[in-house]
Amino acid sequence: MTTVVPTSEEDPVLSVVRFMAEMSWADAGAEIAEPQVNRLCVEAQECMIEGRWLDLASLMLTSADLIFSKASEKDLECIFIIICNLVKKPESLDQVHEMAELISTKIIQQPNDKPALRLKILFNLYNLLENPYSRFFVYMKSLNLAIHGKVTEHILPSVKKMDNFLKEWNLGVKDQRELFLAISNILKENKGSTKDYFRFLTKYLETFPAEDASNMNEAKEEAVRAIIDFVRSPDMFKCDLLDMPSVAQLENDAKYAPVYQLLKIFLTQRLDAYLDFEAANSELLKSYGLVHDDCISKMRLMSLVDLGLNESSQIPYSVIKETLQIDDTEVESWVVKAITAKLLDCKIDQMNQVVRVSRCTERVFGVHQWQELRAKLVTWRGNIAGVISTVQANKITEDSTQTMQGLAIR
């Protein structure tokens, strides 16, 4: 097959136009093909002379689908390097954005045909752009292509740089919602990205403030999904969902109120509350694919954390046994599970049958927790100030004593 080889005698753009035209008309015979090829080359040259770069890009993309089916991947990469570089030509940022929109929209039209190559082309286009919003637009097209072309593994490395991208793009709320939801959907399909998936889903839900009541309804399904995924996860024990307006709206929703109640139980109550809920809503739990035994295991750990937060620093074995509804012989194993999950820092005192807790993970970190932290910091600051004052006073006394001793010697 012919390969694109630009020469010094012809502009690279015209070489690509000629190559694409010849490939497109190859089956029509020389008598028909030659005039058509010449016509397209002349039209392309006119666009270049007159600076009609958007028209030139449109002309070159007309036969893109056919070229994708006929050309080798190496040739396709060369072709689209030339096409994408056209975005460097216009001085108007609006025209550059139109070109980026035109090229990226065309690239994603056939996501199942060479999707990895198409994604590579979009990344190249992204790097050629200077306007932050145009970059964001192309990135969103890349996410779309990755999902529908089933090549999400190629997009995952870029997600790790998302904080830097967000600073660069400076997006409005609507675009943030679209971005966070798309990323969460990609990460959900990747087994090793459960926590990142939940983080971006949470970011999406955070974009709905209480005053945005008109759009709140669109977040309901995702709010339910976040709750169910949190409850189902064996290694997530804290979240900030409870007080988010997009999630809190479910509390008074005719359909989803029980789901919100379930979240409230997992974040603020103990095992007995869950068991009462399950007795009245067993079919609801099954409908969401929640396994009762798994929920009991998680609630036992959550209940143990709650004991550590609300009881004294010493929790008797008997209280743990009663709260977790377990046998005497299981108490220590459940404490070990909590330690392994990094929910507790504690020591097991077998002699006195108590667990001495030094630290507990907060299940919820809301306004109340911030106030408690502030109070602790104020106390610590006061204690440190007191220590410094004492040290300084002692130093003054010591200096005075030494001075007096020096005078006495003289």
Six-digit token string for 45: 């040259």
pLDDT of residue 145: 95
pLDDT of residue 373: 46
Above 70 in pLDDT, residue 105? yes
pLDDT of residue 2: 46
Q: What is the mean pLDDT of the chain?
A: 88
Of 55-59, 187-191, 326-330, 370-374, the one with minimum mean pLDDT is: 370-374
Check: CB of residue 204 under 8 Å from CB of residue 229. no
pLDDT of residue 1: 44
The mean pLDDT of 360-368, rounded to a whole number, is 69
CA angle 64, 68, 69 (to 5 degrees): 125
Q: Is the backbone of residue 353 left (phi > 0), alpha (psi -120 to 50) or beta?
A: left
Per residue in 138-149, pLDDT (tens digit) is: 999 999 999 999
The mean pLDDT of 231-251, rounded to a whole number, is 93
Above 70 in pLDDT, residue 234? yes
Per residue in 47-70, pLDDT (tens digit) is: 999 999 999 999 999 888 888 888
Six-digit token string for 154: 């190629």
pLDDT of residue 370: 44
Above 90 in pLDDT, residue 191? no
φ and ψ of 251, to 5 deg: -60, -35
pLDDT of residue 407: 53
Which pLDDT band holds residue 391 (cuts at 50, 70, 90)? confident
Six-digit token string for 17: 């136009």
The mean pLDDT of 76-89, rounded to a whole number, is 94
CB-neighbour burial class of residue 11 (10 A; exposed 0-12, middle 13-18, buried 19+) = middle
The 3-class SS string of 152-169 reads HHHCHHHHCCHHHHHHHH
**Whose structure tokens read 């990460």?**
187
Per residue in 1-20, pLDDT (tens digit) is: 445 444 445 688 998 888 88
The mean pLDDT of 257-267, rounded to a whole number, is 96
For the chain, report the end-to-end CA distance as a whole number of angstroms: 106
pLDDT of residue 7: 43
Above 80 in pLDDT, residue 251? yes
pLDDT of residue 5: 45
Per residue in 280-333, pLDDT (tens digit) is: 999 999 999 999 999 999 999 999 999 988 767 889 999 999 999 999 999 999
The mean pLDDT of 338-348, rounded to a whole number, is 93
Which pLDDT band holds residue 213 (cuts at 50, 70, 90)? confident
Above 60 in pLDDT, residue 167? yes
Task: State the Cα–Cα distance between residues 12 and 90, nearest whole angstrom.
Answer: 17
Please tell me which residue, 98 or 383, carries the higher pLDDT value: 98
The share of the chain scoring above pLDDT 90, in percent, equals 67
pLDDT of residue 402: 63
CB-neighbour burial class of residue 371 (10 A; exposed 0-12, middle 13-18, buried 19+) = exposed
Q: Which residues contact 89 (CB under 8 A, 6 or more apart)?
A: 51, 53
Q: Which residues contact 311 (CB under 8 A, 6 or more apart)?
A: 319
The mean pLDDT of 78-102, rounded to a whole number, is 94
Amino acid at 367: V
Task: State the Cα–Cα distance between residues 205 and 243, nearest whole angstrom.
Answer: 11
Which pLDDT band holds residue 406 (cuts at 50, 70, 90)? low
The 3-class SS string of the chain reads CCCCCCCCCCCHHHHHHHHHHHHHCHHHCHHHHHHHHHHHHHHHHHHHHHCCHHHHHHHHHCCHHHHHHHCCHHHHHHHHHHHHHHHHCCCCHHHHHHHHHHHHHHHCCCCCCCHHHHHHHHHHHHHHCCCHHHHHHHHHHHHHHHHHCCCHHHCHHHHCCHHHHHHHHCCCHHHHHHHHHHHHHHHHCCHHHHHHHHHHHHHHHHCCCCCCHHHHHHHHHHHHHHHHHHHHCCCCCCCCCCCCHHHHHHHHCCCCHHHHHHHHHHHHCCHHHHHHHHHHHHHHHHHCCCCHHHHHHHHHHHHHHHHHHHCCCEEEHHHHHHHHCCCHHHHHHHHHHHHHCCCEEEEEECCCCEEEEEEECCCCCCHHHHHHHHHHHHHHHHHHHHHHHHHHHHHHHHHHHHHHHHHHHC
Q: Which residues of 164-201 are buried (b: 16+ CB within 10 A; e: fewer)?
A: ebeeebebeeebbbbbbbbbbbbbbeeeebbebbbbbb
pTM, entire model = 0.80
